[in-house]
Amino acid sequence: MRMSLENPEQVELLFSETPGVPTDTRRERAIENLYFREDFRRADFEEMGLVVYPPRVIETYTNSLLQNWNTVAIRGRQPKLVLDYSSSAPAFFFSSTLDNLGVETVALNTFSRSRARFTLAESLPPAAARVGDMVRAMEADLGAILDPGAEYLYVVDEKGELIPSSAILLLLLQHAAKAAGSGVAALPLHATRLAEQIVATTGVSLRRTKYSKAALMVEATRPSTIFAASTDGGYIYPAVLASMDGLFALGKVLELVSTSDAPLSQMVAAMPEVHVIHLNADCPWDLKGTVMRRMTERLHQGRVSLVDGIKVFLDHSEWALVLPDAEEPLFHVYAEAADDGRAQELAESYRVLLETAVKDSAPA
């Protein structure tokens, strides 16, 4: 149970299934339909489950972090870190882990009496500005921001500038691939095509997944997977946990800073620049199926992938993706090109196609 990162007026109830991955979207809908129709009987007392509290969870988790980080390098470098906890639970135990590593830390928002609400769109820009100011004032090596669930990580460089999540994704992907030397990295369909370029000489192959967090986590449970990531700051290291873990990802960023002579901003500058544009197009729930059929008929003659939505592969390594949202009455449109202007042009053209399909699908 947690507050939604998109809408602070909503509380999310998240259910997981063996081996610890979120319930599939189709199964979620089936459960919701049964619930709202009240098509279920009251469970007998003998059928009620048990609430189990595993022992020493924090100690076990902390030990797994330290065992899978390059603690020698971090202790040797002793980087300076400004960390905004966003009132998340790790504020109560993670500081001792950083102290153990010799990381000089300035902690922000360790506890909130006001119960301030965190939403990604509204909270991240001021949080990044605040952390950036502290990084410059303290001459720190980096800053970091966690979401209230400590699942997502956002990084600020030594200049106090927020690093795009796409750049951190490529940095961490490269770091994980070089360290592993083999295996599979999982990324969603709408992640940049430059990821293939990053892993090309490492011995690691790339597998594309569906848009959802659940699909990434399912891939992370496969024995061959060494890394998985979303495009919005979520990183999965299956060796520790087949779920997004902002704390573990932060440790890997500390590794990068501790093992390189270059500051974080230079490491980011060395990465290829990502030009992916994301737009939305409204669509009523009852028209989504019809719109998808119209778009498939319109686009199927080109090079397309129907793994999730409709991904169209164009010339010069360009692509566009039309994807229905699983929870909101809208479509996502993603496009990638050699520069932002061309990517924006592509995304706008496919949004126009979508809006036309919505109009044509509406009842007269």
User: What structural domains does the chain harbor?
Assistant: 2-47 (no CATH), 57-269 (3.40.120.10), 276-361 (3.30.310.50)
pLDDT at 268: 97
- Average confidence (pLDDT) over 164-182: 97
Does residue 139 register a pLDDT over 90? yes
- Average confidence (pLDDT) over 128-150: 96
What span, in angstroms and rounded, lies between the C-alpha atoms of 47 and 344? 55
Query: Quick one: pLDDT band at residue 41, thresholds 50, 70, 90?
Result: confident
Tens-digit pLDDT profile for residues 74-106: 999 999 999 999 988 899 999 999 999 999 999
Does residue 11 register a pLDDT over 90? no
Query: Quick one: pLDDT band at residue 112, thresholds 50, 70, 90?
Result: low
Cis peptide before 238 (omega within 30 of 0): no
- Average confidence (pLDDT) over 276-292: 95
**For the chain, what percent of residues have pLDDT higher than 70?**
96
Tens-digit pLDDT profile for residues 330-354: 999 999 999 999 999 999 999 999 9
The better pLDDT of the pair 9, 67 is held by 67
If phi > 0 it is left, if psi is from -120 to 50 it is alpha, else beta; for residue 111 that is: beta
pLDDT at 116: 57
Query: Quick one: pLDDT band at residue 50, thresholds 50, 70, 90?
Result: confident
pLDDT at 179: 95
The better pLDDT of the pair 364, 337 is held by 337
- Average confidence (pLDDT) over 20-49: 82
Q: Give the per-residue SS3 of the chain.
A: CEECCCCCCCEECCCEECCCEECCHHHHHHHHHHHHCCCCCCCCHHHCCCCCCCCCHHHHHHHHHHHHCCHHHHHHHCCEEEEECCCCHHHHCHHHHHHHCCCEEEEECCCCCCCCCCCHHHHHHHHHHHHHHHHHHHCCCEEEEECCCCCEEEEECCCCCECCHHHHHHHHHHHHHHHHCCEEEEEECCCCCHHHHHHCCCCEEEEEECCCHHHHHHHHCCCCEEEEECCCCEEEECCCECCCCHHHHHHHHHHHHHHCCCCHHHHHHCCCCCCEEEEEEECCHHHHHHHHHHHHHHHCCCEEECCCCEEEECHHHCEEEEEECCCCCEEEEEEECCCHHHHHHHHHHHHHHHHHHHHHHCCC
